[in-house]
Structure formats: C-alpha cells, structure tokens
Amino acid sequence: MIRPSRQRETSWVPLDTAPVVLTIAGSDNSGGAGLQADLKTFTTLGVYGTTAVTCIVAEHPGRVHNITPIPPDRVADQIRLVLEAFPVAAIKTGLLYSAEIIAATAKAIAPALKQGVPLVIDPVMVASSGKALLKKDAIKALRKLIGQATLVTPNRDEAALLWGRPIKNLADLNRAAVELTKGFGQPHFLVKGGHLKTDRAIDILAFPDGRVHEFGAKRIPNLDPHGTGCTYSAAITAGLAKGLTVKEAVILGKIFITRALYRRFEIGPYQLLNHLP
C-alpha cells in the first residue's frame, strides 16, 4: 500500500536535536575564514550554527581589499534575536573591528554570560596577509571583553600585542599564556605557536589556577592557509556547546584543525582548509 505523500514526507522529518552555537564575526566572501568557516565547522561537528555579522570583508586568501562594518545596533539586534529564539549553548567572537561594535556585542551577550554560557574569543587583529583587522582604539574595549571570556585563542602575534612583548620561542609562548591568564583573571588562554619556526606546531593552554597544558602536532611545511584561527576556535566552541571541558574542547579543536590542514584543498594558487576532514 502506498502512503499519502504527506505521510511519506513526514517520515523523513528528523527528530534529532543539536546544541546551538552563536558566532559573532565578519563575513569572508572567499569562504575560508570568518562566519563561513565557523558554520562549516559547526555543521561538521554536529552543532547548529547561528550568526551575527559584524563586518563584510571583501577578500581572498592572499589579500584583504576592504572592510565594511555593520552598524553596531544592527549587530546587537542579530545577537538579541538569536538569544531570544534559541537556547544558545556557547558563543564565539571573531572579527569585531571597532570599539563601538565590541561595546554593542558585550551588552547584547551579557544576559547569556550571566546564565553561564561559555564565551570563546578569537581576538582577530591581523589577517594572514598582514592587514590590520582591528582598529587601534578598539584594543582597550577588546581587553575588557576578554575579561568575561571562558577561553581566549590568540595566535603568536595577537598574544604579543596583548602581552606587550614579542614572542620569539616556546619559552616566550609559555610565559605569555601564563601571564595573560593571570593578568585577565577569569579566562583560560590558548596561545597558538603555529607561526613559530619549530618542527611541531605547539599550542599552550594556560588555566586560571596556573596549570599549563601543551598541545602539539607535526608541522606541515610551507603551509599557512587563512582561516586556521577561525576554524580552530569554532571547533573548540562546538566542543564546549556539547558539554566538554575546556581541555577536552581544545583537544577536539586541535585534532580538527590538524586534519583540516592535512586534507586541504588545492584550488588555483591557494591552499584551503577542508572543513569536512
């Protein structure tokens, strides 16, 4: 017996549920970084991604052409409506660009943070191509927001800007992670050493209680695709949304970004992350 079409369609409706995550970041038209990288990562790791767009970035992997910020009140509207509609289990920030957008973001996410929703901050300051992505007058506002985070994930250059000293080796990387965590109080700091000239890509996770944990993976020579920071922090955010501890979520993120690098795409002159590793 053939069932009516409505019954057949109903039988395909999924009954699964998934944790909801919110990323507050810029849009990358080339698809390798920003909101696009976050959403690909969230989907692969089985969480439901929502977004608040802070900037429209016209770029490709080798060059940032221009950045158009979204009005801060419109950024806040996006955040507010997501939090109104969904039980958000974790929040991530990426490119925030200006002090005004940071202030609007901080105010909009405050109710969620008060309820214990974890916040991951990827302090996007400089693009892989070298172009500044954060206004100089926004650093003070960003530092204030960092004080409310669960985890902050700077790369070597971003950590050096926050720390106030250059990071030349693994010893510096370790000290920066520990002192940044101590200086900001609440957050864990994952200081990434991918830009160091070492045989292994080493990241240092510092805990608020002073403990540190080292994560390492074999370095892939002559490889530096854009979007690695976005993807890594998005994977960690997905892990936190699923109830993992910070350390467990970082392990998940390290595995994910390593596989995304090893199984990368080669398209034209560019090496691009594979978000389905």
pLDDT in tens, 168-201: 989 999 999 999 999 998 899 999 986 676 778 8
> Could you report the per-residue pLDDT of 81-132, keeping only the tens digit for each?
999 999 999 999 999 999 999 999 999 999 999 999 999 999 998 766 566 7
DSSP-derived pairing of the beta strands 151-152 and 119-121: parallel
Query: What burial letters (b/e) apply to 109-134, b meaning 16+ CB within 10 Å?
Result: beebeeeebbbbbbbbbebbeeeebb
Residues present in the chain in total: 277
User: In the chain, what are the domains?
Assistant: 19-272 (3.40.1190.20)
Cα(178)–Cα(191) distance, rounded to whole angstroms?
9
Q: Tokens in use for 40?
A: 């690909």
> Could you report the per-residue pLDDT of 7-56, keeping only the tens digit for each?
444 455 566 789 999 999 999 999 999 999 999 999 999 999 999 999 99
DSSP state for residue 137 in the 8-state scheme: G
8 Å CB contact between 66 and 38: no
Count of CB atoms situated within 10 Å of the CB of 84: 7
Per DSSP, helices labelled H in the chain are: 5-10, 34-44, 72-85, 99-114, 139-146, 156-163, 170-184, 228-241, 246-262
Residue corresponding to tokens 């699923």:
242
